[in-house]
Amino acid sequence: MILVVGLGNPGARYESTRHNVGFQVVDRLVSQASAAFRARFEGQFAQIEIAGRAVGLLKPETFMNESGRSVQPAVSFYKVQLADVLVIHDELDLPLGDVRLKLGGSDAGHRGIRSVTQLLGSDQYLRLRVGIGRPPPDFRGSVRDFVLQGASPTESPELERALEKAVGAVRLVTTDGLAAAMNQTNQRPR
């Protein structure tokens, strides 16, 4: 099994925020497979199949900063190898709409990733980073305020394309493996 984890915060207040792009990607995969979530691992869990391979989809409901409390029990229960764990999250350091796959690395200040790494005891799992960009110079508020807002009407089409690209990247990882998926997903648009 491959375990795909979308990071976000539970509840209607956070549903369409930049910080919840991980949840949004997992929701799309569940919807496309006509599957349903059930409460499990302190989160919402669904199981689907992509090209004959079992895929667990998890949305931790522990709030972002405690995501590892949901991920670690799911990894243990299904005996998933770290190379088969794919965590989807928002990334301030990528421009809005960019999507990048990588294996391992630092948490770059992302507390959800930090929690997952701490509870898994390693950073050697896959990450699908969805760019949300940094706040514009005229933004009044903190970075926290920025990530907990939805995309503006002018940003929404770009974010929509990124979410669809992220769904495609999950499918590519499952069917073609990491190297091929990285090669295709990480290409910069011309």
The residues annotated as belonging to the active site are: 19
Residue 169 contacts by C-beta under 8 Å, 6 or more apart in sequence?
A: 99, 101, 128, 181, 184, 185
Distance CA 189, CA 187 (A): 6
The CA-CA-CA angle for residues 69, 19, 38, to 5°, reads 50
Using a 10 angstrom Cβ sphere, with 0-12 exposed, 13-18 middle and 19 or more buried, the burial of residue 27 is: buried
Q: Which pair of structure tokens corresponds to residue 155?
A: 């940003």
Q: Which pair of structure tokens corresponds to residue 34?
A: 């006509």
Q: What is the CA radius of gyration of the chain?
A: 15
